[in-house]
């Protein structure tokens, strides 16, 4: 009787092992895995195209409405570099990287860009510059996080290379924008203090008359 129970347990264990092995084989099916990887790469390309176009739209606002030469110069540089990043992603799409990707398919992930667009539409001068710099800087930080994840998970070698090239570009502009924003705020603060001193001096002179 004990022998029969032992045999039964062994058979049950063997059956469970075989079922588990079959399930693992299905989950690691090469064809399914390859298809999933291609879909992920395609989604990354679509996302990057949409996000870069959104950033370019906002960057052009800086070239048209920036109130300082430094802001306009940075915006022009950003448009140029984003154009190159966009071209590399669109070339991947045209080449069919992933699964039948087409340029412009899919939606971007920089949802805060819509709010920034609304704020910039009514901003002028100092307010426009600081809002533009801070807003695009945050969008690029969001994009940088996404690109870092894509670099780890993408399987297409050309996509990985394009992402690798894009990451330092975003890092460079985040640093430039942060520096320029601080500079503009510092200058504005100094000018306000100077105007306040001049106003106070003018009022004192008026009282002496």
Helix (H) or strand (E) holding 110: none
**Residue 198 Cα distances to 188, 189, 192, 208, angstroms:** 15, 14, 10, 16
Structure confidence at residue 203 (pLDDT): 72
CA nearest to 110, candidates 61, 65, 146: 146
Report which DSSP code applies to 68. Answer: S
Backbone angles phi, psi at 11, to 5 degrees: -65, -40
Domain at 35-177, CATH from 3.40.50.300, 1.20.1260.10, 1.10.3090.10, 2.102.10.10: 1.20.1260.10
Distance CA 26, CA 37 (A): 16
Q: Where are the domains of the chain?
A: 35-177
Give the mean pLDDT per block of 10 residues along the chain (209 residues): 46 45 45 78 94 96 96 98 97 74 57 92 96 97 96 95 98 98 92 79 72
Structure confidence at residue 159 (pLDDT): 96
**Residue 195 Cα distances to 45, 200, 202, angstroms:** 51, 9, 10
Structure confidence at residue 12 (pLDDT): 47
Structure confidence at residue 29 (pLDDT): 52
């Amino acid at each position: 009787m004990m022998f029969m129970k032992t045999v039964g347990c062994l058979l049950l264990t063997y059956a469970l092992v075989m079922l588990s092995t079959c399930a693992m084989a299905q989950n690691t099916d090469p064809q399914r895995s390859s298809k999933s990887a291609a879909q992920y790469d395609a989604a990354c390309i679509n996302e990057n195209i949409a996000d870069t176009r959104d950033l370019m739209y906002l960057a052009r606002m800086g070239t048209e409405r920036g109130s300082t030469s430094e802001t306009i110069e940075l915006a022009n540089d950003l448009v140029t570099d984003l154009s190159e990043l966009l071209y590399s992603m669109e070339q991947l799409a045209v080449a069919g990287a992933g699964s039948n990707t087409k340029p412009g398919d899919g939606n971007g992930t920089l949802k805060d860009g819509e709010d920034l667009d609304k704020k910039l539409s009514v901003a002028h001068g100092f307010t426009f510059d600081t809002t533009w710099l801070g807003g695009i800087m945050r969008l690029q930080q969001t994009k940088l996080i996404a690109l870092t994840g894509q670099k780890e998970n993408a399987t297409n070698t050309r996509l990985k290379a394009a992402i690798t090239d894009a990451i330092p570009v975003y890092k460079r502009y985040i640093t430039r924008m942060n520096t320029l924003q601080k500079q503009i705020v510092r200058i504005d603060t100094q000018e306000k203090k100077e105007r306040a001193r001049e106003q106070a001096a003018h009022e004192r002179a008026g009282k002496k008359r």
